Structure 1
Amino acid sequence: MKLEGRPRAEPTDRFVIVAARFNELVGEALVDGARRALEEAGAAEPIVVWVPGALEIAGAARRLVTAGTPIAGIIAVGAVIRGETDHYEVVATQASAQLARLAAEATVPVANALLTVDSLEQAFDRAGAKHGNKGYEAALVAVRMADVYRRIDALKEDDGSC
């Protein structure tokens, strides 16, 4: 399976962006980046689902998958910023683990742009400033993986090559 060039979506591909409201300014920038990438890739207008915080992202994403919602993939976005307590460790670890588990089990791709950073400055750097926009990058991953999933599914119907 050889994939080259910029990821392209099917015009009917509808993706869902699941975004955490906590640290909302960062979340909005990540959503904007993801929307831009999906538009550039030729996907249909995405659905945006806002949840209270990072720990709720995987639950909403899992519900979208298990409810049989006709989607091409999910882009998870949000920011967990280190504070003065151990709460950061719990949220960052659990939210990331839940998303990784869902990505491995889901029937559609789940791309992760959940930032785990030490400061608001680092979060903004990764939401469009110094280090690009991780929401944009995750959306491209979702588009690429949706194509990979389609090609894998075609193996069942084909001669074994894609």
Structure 2
Amino acid sequence: MATQLKNLSDFSATEIPDAAAYTFGIVVAEWNAEITNALYEGAYQSLVKNGALPENIFSYSVPGSFELTSGAELLLKNKPNLDAVICLGCVIQGETRHFDFICDAVANGVSNVAIKYSKPVIFGVLTTDNQQQAIDRAGGKHGNKGDEAAVTAIKMADLARTLQA
């Protein structure tokens, strides 16, 4: 959780496995594009920085965060060799309960896809009260949630492979 004392992109206290042997999918929501594009850049650059080969990163966009679940499922169904899928989106609180329904549906949907395919499906969705909080977590003062999602994908892909051995 990002607070004034925590930067999402600080991985100094953790070991990140080499990602060269893994294949990743990224599904990114187009809604709130200023934020989701920054999340995508963070995730993509973190994967590459940690050894993932660009030709082993498959990126697709979906209209909004609600569609991340369908996008992840379609990706795993059509590219079964993926080691992990990263879902990136941003839902900002408005004046109605729509925020609650979308956030709940996406969180549950991402979990269900992970269980269905026995593959890591990473929840890289910002659920913020306002635009500034989203900016702060998409490359701003709290780092980039996309970086965190990529590192999580690498670590979970490595765990899955370790347990299969």
Report the TM-score range of the alignment, normalised by the length of the smaller protein. Answer: 0.7 to 0.9
Q: Give aligned pairs, total.
A: 150
**AA partner of residue 27 (structure 2):** V
Normalising to structure 2: TM-score of the pair?
A: 0.86
2:17 is the counterpart of 1:7: yes
Alignment match, 1:120? 131
- Partners of 1:136 and 1:105 in 2: how far apart? 25
2:45 is the counterpart of 1:24: no
Q: Which moved more, 1:89-98 or 1:22-31?
A: 89-98
Alignment match, 2:49? 40
What percent of counterpart residues are identical? 37
Task: Answer whether contact 1:65 1:107 (CA < 8 A) is retained.
Answer: no
**AA partner of residue 119 (structure 2):** V
Matched residue SS, 2:140: coil
**AA partner of residue 155 (structure 2):** R
Matched residue SS, 1:85: coil
Q: Which moved more, 1:76-85 or 1:104-113?
A: 104-113
Task: Answer whether contact 2:29 2:36 (CA < 8 A) is retained.
Answer: yes
Normalising to structure 1: TM-score of the pair?
A: 0.87
Where do 4+ consecutive residues of structure 1 move more than 4 Å? none
- Partners of 1:6 and 1:96 in 2: how far apart? 25
- Partners of 1:69 and 1:103 in 2: how far apart? 13
Deviations 1:111-133 (CA, angstroms, capped at 9, x unpaired): 11111111010111111111111
Cα RMSD of the aligned pairs, angstroms, is 1.4
Alignment match, 2:105? 94
Q: 1:10-159 maps to which residues of 2 (within 5 A)?
A: 11-45=20-54, 46-154=57-165
- Partners of 1:50 and 1:139 in 2: how far apart? 16
Task: Answer whether contact 2:16 2:154 (CA < 8 A) is retained.
Answer: no
Matched residue SS, 2:85: strand
- Partners of 2:53 and 2:123 in 1: how far apart? 20
Q: How much does 1:78 deviate?
A: 0.7
Bigger-Rg structure (1/2): 1
Deviations 1:85-143 (CA, angstroms, capped at 9, x unpaired): 11111111111111122223323211111111110101111111111111111110101
